[in-house]
Amino acid sequence: MIVLNKTLEVAKQLPDAMIVVTGGVPKAHQTEGKLMADWLVKKGIPAERIFQDNYARSTVENALFSRYALTKHRIKTAVIISSGSHVRRADAIFTVASWQSGPSDITYLTVVAPDKPLAELQKTSKSDLQGIYRDGLKALGLWSFRSYPLEER
């Protein structure tokens, strides 16, 4: 909910901006994208501003599938709003996905919805870096899998 509240705050500050909500994992027979869009509309955001990606099942797919809306609407600057523990990885994945297949001229900015103490969020853990590398490779089409030798490094 902290991410949606932050999204609402930013949407009010940027009233002409398109909003992309993404998530295809069904909850009670509705996707995350649909539930987020419905919540934003109930809070006063016009439905016409919202593009729903109801297919993505991961952050990598969020990035890959959102590029359609970004390209279609010729977006040059996009703001990624995510939890503090996730935004660094999301930014890296969206950037790498755009390098791979566009839009290549887009700039990504990030807004954090803090979910942990700031001192903790300022540190990049080993598992954070592993997630960034793993998902960055996936965004490039190079899937890596957990295996004994990789887990020991």
Average pLDDT over residues 61-75: 89
Q: How many CB atoms lie within 10 A of CB 22?
A: 21
Supply the pLDDT for residue 141. 86
CB neighbour list of residue 89: distance below 8 Å, 6 or more residues apart: 59, 128, 131, 132, 135
pLDDT at 153: 47
Name beta bridge partners: 27. Answer: 30
pLDDT at 31 over 60: yes
Buried b (16+ CB within 10 A) or exposed e, 98-115: beeeebeebebeeebbee
CB 53 within 8 Å of CB 33: yes
Mean pLDDT along residues 55-83? 90
Residues 129-147 have a mean pLDDT of 83
**How large is the average pLDDT for residues 100-119?**
88
- Residue ranges and CATH numbers for the domains of the chain are 2-152 (3.40.50.620)
In this predicted structure, the answer to whether residue 104 has a pLDDT above a threshold of 90 is: no
Mean pLDDT over 13-39 rounds to 91
Residues in CB range of 38: below 8 A, 6 or more apart? 30
Per-residue pLDDT, 48 = 95
In this prediction, residue 147 carries a pLDDT of 56
Measured CA to CA, the distance from residue 83 to residue 138 in angstroms comes to: 21
- Which pLDDT does position 148 carry in this prediction? 58
pLDDT of residue 150: 54
Q: What is the mean pLDDT of residues 6-28?
A: 91
Burial grade of 34 (CB within 10 A; 0-12, 13-18, 19 or more): middle
Which pTM value belongs to this model?
Answer: 0.83
